Structure 1
Amino acid sequence: MSVETRTVPFREHETWVRIADPDEPRGGLLPLIVLHGGPGMAHNYVRNIAELADETGRRVVHYDQIGCGNSTHLPDAPADFWTPELFVEEFHAVRSALGIEHYHLLGQSWGGMLGAEIAVLRPPGLASLSICNSPASMELWMAAAAELRAQLPPETQAALDRHEEAGTVTDPEYLAATEEFYVRHVCRVVPTPKDFVETVEQMEAEPTVYHTMNGPNEFYVLGTLREWSIIDRLGAIAVPTLVVAGEFDEATPATWAPFVENIPGARSHVFPDASHCSHLEKPEEFRAVIADFLAANDPTA
């Protein structure tokens, strides 16, 4: 496949975009736009989804959401600047700048939450929605995290509790305890894939978005998304929807069940022996499931 990168204007800022085109494009197939997680974790760790370009013959678009990766960083922006509505607006700015009118949408983790925020507004060109490893509310996410955390070794739980109470969440002992959770429920590949490492490194270098909207890590949520929920709006989604997760995902079945229960016709798929980064742990299987879903919902299907 051929890869082009460029920036597009968003408000007075710039959003960085990566476009993968197949060497042998197939007519009639809609492009896939991929939304990364975090918020603020950049596109690197979901970059391998672009392999669908050559595997399916369709264009695959990634972009770094504002505030992270290769897009404009805004470390001095106030907390109330960072809202789901901001990122919905940015998505359409990217789509419009690329001249994309009809498309499939895939979001991973926060990206799936954002994808749902886009889909409930019923944009006219949306053909399908893939929600990957995402919760339908942060209340459900935090409850699931508490349950998984309770399964960690007692000494690991004690370290987490001790440092959170003391406010020392950058202490090496706390970070080591956090890693124990991550290797069980975030990415089970050893060693950690380079794309995932790159994403974490760029977030840690400039964590404004992640720390403001989420918190210091995946299971200690203090940010502005803490009260977020889309459950009562899911009935407005009117496109075919696929919900996927991993067997050991930090997004447990309780967190994503409302998508399946409330989006008309939504279906789900769970990848065995995978966790939150199913696309890195089971890349070929993941892309095959997504490819079949997209093909079934192209205009030529």
Structure 2
Amino acid sequence: MRIRIYTMLFIGLFLIVGCKEKPEDTVKSNYLDFSKRDDQFTGGIKMIPITTPKGNFKVWTKTVGNNPTIKVLLLHGGPGLTHELYESFDGYFPNESIEYIYYDQLGSYYSDQPNDNSLWTNERFVEEVEQVRKALGCDNTNFYVLGQSWGGILAMEYALKYQKNLKGLIISNMMASAPAYNKYADEVLGPKLPKAVFDQIKTFEKNKDYTNPKYTELLFKYYYTEHILRMPIDKWPESINRCFKHINPNVYVYMQGPSEFGITGDATLKDWDVTARLKTITVPTLVIGAKYDTMDPKHMEWMSHEVQNGRFLYCPNGSHLSQYDDQKNYFKGVIQFLRDVDNGDFKKG
């Protein structure tokens, strides 16, 4: 009888322990539960107040999911584009219970758009990201930034000042030097175009005839579909077309310039270069490069070794928007990075 009682107790204890929900199961079961959140009413959207030297404004954010240890703030490209560049993430992150935050920077379509060029500086954008982080309640136990293109510049600049607040950093499709990017565009990508086409494009740019329909036609036909998004124009995702439709050209041209062959003219980012400072970044860092990118993938591989805890993700089928034209490799690598950092299994390489 005593043996039978002990056996029943053991079985009961086994069932209690064995049926205890794992942490990852808890996250998954609560991932779409907004009932305890203050943004349930708006479906995750928050207009976050920010202060600037030129007054107070609001920026648009939308949080998808709940995960107490993985919260990824998405820094869009441009400058002056929108969060819509990242809508493909909806097809991958929710299934992995990864919380992510769409965000339109000040001046972009869904946020306030003050008409003051003095606001468009790296330093002010960094302070904006820090204010957004605080408003979202993120810290170094859960906070990641993922920046693509110009967003990669902003992500690097943020990490160089505020890495103490980061759990991980993802630099997607962005070199650490505008002069190096210009050199790659002019000496490598341009000459790969048919010579007659490249000569026409350079003539348009020399004459500053950027609004000429022929200039735009040549770029889309020969350059964009090779190095921006490797799909026929009529197959481009609606989210990308919508994003480009919503661009703020004032912010874009002021910081990036009117050309797609590098950062040119009197654009404020023309001389930007943080290559000498990368070695001061200590947080786990993923750098993403692609074979057909407008950015040199070899340079980005070098960046992954220059930071102290870096990993390189290569997208062999991707271009500048690898989150669309090489999703298999892009999302597999990003998700693995987030999982490894979260589990304490991150190894650089």
> Equivalent residue of 2:175, what SS?
coil
2:58–2:111: 8 Å Cα contact kept in structure 1?
yes
Runs of 4+ in structure 1 deviating by more than 3 angstroms, as ranges, are 50-53
Correspondence for 1:167 among 198, 204, 208: 208
Asked if residue 244 in structure 1 is aligned to residue 284 in structure 2, the reply is no
Shift of residue 287, structure 1, vs aligned partner: 1.6
Cα 1:123–1:97, aligned 2, differ >3 Å: closer, same or farther?
Answer: same
Following the alignment from structure 1 to structure 2, what is the Cα–Cα distance between the partners of residues 58 and 137? 31
Following the alignment from structure 2 to structure 1, what is the Cα–Cα distance between the partners of residues 314 and 330? 10
Shift of residue 111, structure 1, vs aligned partner: 1.0
2:289–2:313: 8 Å Cα contact kept in structure 1?
yes
> Equivalent residue of 2:123, what SS?
helix
More helix, by proportion? 2
Greater C-alpha radius of gyration: 2
Bigger relative contact order, structure 1 or 2 (CA pairs below 8 A, ≥6 apart): 1
Following the alignment from structure 1 to structure 2, what is the Cα–Cα distance between the partners of residues 236 and 202? 36
Shift of residue 34, structure 1, vs aligned partner: 1.1
> Equivalent residue of 2:335, what SS?
helix
> Equivalent residue of 2:137, what SS?
coil
Shift of residue 187, structure 1, vs aligned partner: 0.5
> Equivalent residue of 2:193, what SS?
coil
> Equivalent residue of 1:256, what SS?
helix
1:109 corresponds to: 149
1:144–1:251: 8 Å Cα contact kept in structure 2?
yes
Q: Which runs of 5+ in 2 are unaligned?
A: 1-30, 33-42
Moved more, 247-256 or 61-70: 247-256
2:163–2:281: 8 Å Cα contact kept in structure 1?
no
Correspondence for 1:65 among 95, 105, 114: 105
TM-score by length of 1: 0.91
Following the alignment from structure 2 to structure 1, what is the Cα–Cα distance between the partners of residues 132 and 162? 17
Shift of residue 217, structure 1, vs aligned partner: 3.6
Following the alignment from structure 2 to structure 1, what is the Cα–Cα distance between the partners of residues 95 and 329? 12
Correspondence for 1:99 among 131, 137, 140: 137
Shift of residue 299, structure 1, vs aligned partner: 5.5
Cα 1:245–1:300, aligned 2, differ >3 Å: closer, same or farther?
Answer: closer
| One-letter amino acid matched to 2:239 | D
Quote the sequence identity (%). Answer: 28
Asked if residue 158 in structure 1 is aligned to residue 199 in structure 2, the reply is yes
Asked if residue 84 in structure 1 is aligned to residue 84 in structure 2, the reply is no
| Number of aligned positions between the proteins | 293
| One-letter amino acid matched to 1:182 | Y
Cα 1:183–1:285, aligned 2, differ >3 Å: closer, same or farther?
Answer: same
Shift of residue 59, structure 1, vs aligned partner: 1.2
1:21–1:53: 8 Å Cα contact kept in structure 2?
no
Deviations 1:111-143 (A, max 9, x none): 111111111124323111111100110001111
> Equivalent residue of 1:34, what SS?
strand
Deviations 1:60-97 (A, max 9, x none): 011001111201112x313x431111111111111111
> Equivalent residue of 1:120, what SS?
helix
Following the alignment from structure 1 to structure 2, what is the Cα–Cα distance between the partners of residues 8 and 19? 12
2:10 corresponds to: none
Asked if residue 286 in structure 1 is aligned to residue 324 in structure 2, the reply is no
Correspondence for 2:261 among 183, 199, 219: 219
Following the alignment from structure 2 to structure 1, what is the Cα–Cα distance between the partners of residues 205 and 344? 53
> Equivalent residue of 2:314, what SS?
strand
1:269 corresponds to: 313
Shift of residue 234, structure 1, vs aligned partner: 0.8
TM-score by length of 2: 0.79
| One-letter amino acid matched to 1:86 | R
2:179 corresponds to: 139
Cα root mean square deviation, aligned: 1.8
